Structure 1
Amino acid sequence: MTNDDRILVVIPTYDERDNLPRIVPAVLEVDPRLHVLVVDDNSPDGTGEVADELAARHAPRVHVMHRAGKEGLGRAYLAGFEWGLGEGYGWIMEMDADLSHRPEDLPTMIAASEEHPVVVGSRYVDGRVTVVNWPISRLLISLFGSWYARTATRVPVRDATGGFNCFRREVLEAIDFERVQSNGYSFQIELKLRAWRKGFRPIEVPIVFTERDTGESKMSKSIVREAIWKVWKLRFLDLAGRL
C-alpha cells in the first residue's frame, strides 16, 4: 500500500490529553488505510507528550507535529495539510480531538470520497439536525452561523461551519494556502469556499455530532466576531476575482 492509497486524519490539539488516547485508537480501528497526524500547539497540559506516546505505540500510523505555541485552528490545519501533501497522502481529513466527531462516521465519508473530491460531514442534511447534548442556544448559533455563511458567500453547503471534512489531495493542491485569511470559526467556511471556487463541488453526508464530555470548548466571542465580518470580506474578494 503506497501513501497515495492512504488517508491522513489531521487532528489539531490544545489541552486534549484526556481525549487524545480515546480518539486516536478509535480512528485507527476503522480502516487500515487511516493514518493520524496530531498537530499540537504546545499544550500546557502535556497533550504533546501523550501524542508522542501514541505515535510510538501505533507506529508507523500515528505522527505528531509540535508547534511552538497556540496559533489557531486554521494555521494548525494548514500546517497539517502541507505535511500530508508532502508525504504523498491521497486523501486528507479534518477531525476534532474531543470525540464530537464520531469515528464510526468515517466509513460513510471515505466511501463518498471515492466519487466526490470534497466530502462534508454534515449535521444538517435533508432538514434533519443530528446534534447530541447541545444546549438550544449553541444549536441556534450553529444553525444561524451556517445560514449566515451560506448567504454571504453563496457556498452550496448547509453545514458551512462544520469541521469534519475529507479532501482528495488535488483539492488541497489547488488552494494557495498563503492566501487563506481565516484562522478561527470562519476557517472552515473559507476552505469550502475556496475548494468550490476551484471547481470542486462539496457533497454533504450525514453525521452525528456529539458534544464533548471531557475538557473545555475552544469557542470564544473573538472567534465568532471574526466569522461575522470575515465571510463578507471573502464574498467581496470573490466578487473581485481576488479570492
Structure 2
Amino acid sequence: MNPALVCIPTYNERENIEAIVQAVLKADPRVDILVVDDNSPDGTGQLADALAAKDTRVRVLHREKKEGLGRAYLAAFRWALAEGYTYILEMDADFSHDPRYLPGMLDAAQAGADLVLGSRYVTGGGTVNWGVGRQVISRGGSLYARTILGVGIRDLTGGFKCFHRRVLEGIALDEVKSTGYAFQIELTYRTLKKGFTVREVPIVFEDRRVGHSKMSKKIFAEALTMVWKLRLTV
C-alpha cells in the first residue's frame, strides 16, 4: 500500500475514467486510487472494476445511489482512514484537475502542511476555457465565502485537495452537512477552525474534456446559504 490515496468520485464518467486512472498512476508512484461510483447508469463502476482487476493500486467503492459530491467524498474518507492511508486527496474525474500537479501537492503535504489546496487564484494559478460569466461566478463565490467566513484562503471553492489523515480525524466528519460544491468550502473552513495549517499551491484548472458538468442552480444556491450557516454554527 502506498502512503497516499487519490479519491475520484464518479457519476456517468465512462468516457473519462480509464484515461484519468492511467494518468494518475503515471503521475506519482506514491499514490493509490479509489474510484467512488454512485451507481452510474453508463457503466462507469463496472469499467472501474475492470481497471482494478488489472492493477492493485486501483480500488473501487460502489454506492447505491447518487447523493451528491459531499456524501461520496465522506464515504471515501472513511474508507481511506480505515485502510490506514496517511494522505487523502480529492480529485475530479474529468481532467479539470491535471494529474501533473499531484507530486507537488503531495510534496507540500509531506513537508508539513495539514491541508494542501490546488488553487486557481494564487500567483501562478488560473483557468482555461472559461467564459467571462463563469470567471465572475467562481471568483465572486470565493470572495463572498472568504468575506463572510473571515478567512484568507484565495480559492475556497476548489476541489483539488490533499489532506493529512489527522485533519479528517479531527474535524468530525459526521457533522459535515454540505452535499454539493459547498462541501469544499465547509471542509476547508472546518480545517482552519481546528487550527490546522492550510497551504495553497498554484494549479491551472481546465474545463472538462468530455461529458457534462454536474453544477446546477440548486448546488449554487446551497453554497450561498451554507457559508452563513458555517459562520454562525462552526
TM-score range, shorter chain: over 0.9
CA positional deviation for 1:175 = 1.4
CA positional deviation for 1:130 = 1.0
Q: Secondary structure at the match of 2:139?
A: helix
Name the counterpart of 1:240. none
Structure 2 counterpart of 1:229, which letter?
T
Deviations 1:107-151 (A, max 9, x none): 11111111211100000103x551001111111110001111111
CA positional deviation for 1:198 = 1.0
Name the counterpart of 2:226. 230
Q: Secondary structure at the match of 2:134?
A: helix
Name the counterpart of 1:163. 159
Structure 2 counterpart of 1:7, which letter?
A
Deviations 1:183-230 (A, max 9, x none): 111100000011111111211000111001100000000000001111
Measure the CA separation in 2 of the matches of 1:35 and 1:107.
13
Q: Secondary structure at the match of 1:104?
A: helix
Which one of the candidate residues 171, 188, 194 is aligned to 1:192? 188
Measure the CA separation in 2 of the matches of 1:64 and 1:152.
37
Structure 2 counterpart of 1:179, which letter?
E
Measure the CA separation in 1 of the matches of 2:135 and 2:38.
28
Measure the CA separation in 2 of the matches of 1:65 and 1:27.
17
Q: Secondary structure at the match of 1:51?
A: helix
Asked if 1:61 is matched to 2:57, the reply is yes
Name the counterpart of 2:46. 49
Structure 1 counterpart of 2:25, which letter?
L
Measure the CA separation in 2 of the matches of 1:145 and 1:8.
29
Measure the CA separation in 2 of the matches of 1:57 and 1:147.
44
Name the counterpart of 2:175. 179
Measure the CA separation in 1 of the matches of 2:150 and 2:181.
17
Unaligned runs of 5+ in 1: 238-242
Measure the CA separation in 2 of the matches of 1:111 and 1:80.
22
Q: How many residues align?
A: 233
Q: Secondary structure at the match of 1:150?
A: helix
Name the counterpart of 1:18. 15
Asked if 1:123 is matched to 2:120, the reply is yes
Name the counterpart of 1:140. 136
Q: Secondary structure at the match of 1:29?
A: helix
CA RMSD of aligned residues (A): 1.0
Name the counterpart of 2:206. 210
TM-score calculated relative to the size of structure 2: 0.97
Measure the CA separation in 1 of the matches of 2:6 and 2:120.
19
Deviations 1:138-187 (A, max 9, x none): 11110001111111112331000000000001111101111001111110
Measure the CA separation in 2 of the matches of 1:80 and 1:135.
32
TM-score calculated relative to the size of structure 1: 0.94
Q: Would the aligned equivalents of 2:119 and 2:125 in 1 still touch at CA under 8 Å? A: no
Q: Secondary structure at the match of 1:68?
A: coil
Q: Would the aligned equivalents of 2:125 and 2:203 in 1 still touch at CA under 8 Å? A: no
